[in-house]
Amino acid sequence: MPTLTGAVRSFVETGPILEVVDYSGGFTSGAGEFTPVLKRVAFSVPRAAFTAIVGETGSGKTLMALSILGIAPRSFRRTAGSVRFQGADLVPDDDKAMRRVRGAQISMVFQDARASLNPVFTVGYQISDVCRLHRHVGRKEAWQMAENMLERVRVPEPGRRMRQYPHEFSGGMAQRAQLAMALICHPSLLVLDEPTTGLDVTIQADILDLVVDLTASEGLSTLLITHDLGIVAETCDFVVVMKEGEVRETGTCEQVMTAPASPYTQQLLADSRLAGVPR
């Protein structure tokens, strides 16, 4: 598990970068019936640290991440609670305000990198376009910054790759390109939704090593959405455990992994160990 000294000091001295306060919401059907999904969710994301939201499929972890960025499905409706970023309330219903935050201050990397990249534009065009939108630089400067960022995320021959289309990238390379797009504006908070799903074990390890390195070197606060406790044990400083739209436990990675308080967390860990995840 990673050392916690720096992360804990940052949390104590400067407070969290993100706070979710008693956040509740659910889906409204075409017939007008409301189904609650998120139930008084509350947790904090410390600055300059790696935090995970972990839980099985259907626990609400991805929906919570999408709600933070104001990109939850249209049928989702917040009923209570708030999200505070850098001490100020985010208003997911105010799309104009959220557009100033998304990409520039909070960026998200999704599961399926190829689906997140537009197939009709080159990778370089897409990354540089994000840069031009949020950083207000010229086309030539944005192109160079995008190429530099591809190199930063360890894409070989970035100049040539800039002119290629998403279908010419492997799964791991497409994920690196999406990471470059997320980081091009130097956000304060990076949200990763199951970023290694569908990648082979070696590529998974490379991507995670890269994210850990970037978190440390760029001073990022990183929020990882995952069901994989092995990844959590190897990379994260803090853990939020969710089940059925509720937070069941929060704590440092060491606390949650070695002395879980919640019976649900205990069961998750027991199941993971049967699958070969180390204690």
Stretch 96-106: mean pLDDT: 88
**Is a pLDDT exceeding 70 seen at residue 9?**
no
**Is a pLDDT exceeding 50 seen at residue 240?**
yes
Task: Please state, for a pLDDT cut of 90, what percent of the chain lies above it.
Answer: 69
Are 59 and 244 spatial neighbours (Cβ–Cβ below 8 Å)?
yes
Identify the structural domains of the chain with CATH numbers, from first to last. 5-105+188-274 (3.40.50.300), 117-186 (no CATH)
The tens digit of pLDDT for each residue in 187-211 reads 999 999 998 887 888 888 898 899 8
Stretch 225-233: mean pLDDT: 91
Stretch 28-50: mean pLDDT: 95
Sign of CA dihedral 271, 202, 48, 116: negative
**Is a pLDDT exceeding 70 seen at residue 85?**
yes
Stretch 28-53: mean pLDDT: 95
pLDDT of residue 10: 45
Are 93 and 104 spatial neighbours (Cβ–Cβ below 8 Å)?
no
Stretch 88-111: mean pLDDT: 86
Are 242 and 41 spatial neighbours (Cβ–Cβ below 8 Å)?
yes
For the chain, what is the total number of helices (H) and then of strands (E)? 12, 10
Q: Report the alpha-carbon distance of residue 90 to residue 219 in Å, rounded.
A: 22
pLDDT of residue 279: 45
Q: Lay out the sheet containing 76-85: strands in order across.
A: 34-46, 16-28, 76-85, 88-90
Are 100 and 114 spatial neighbours (Cβ–Cβ below 8 Å)?
no
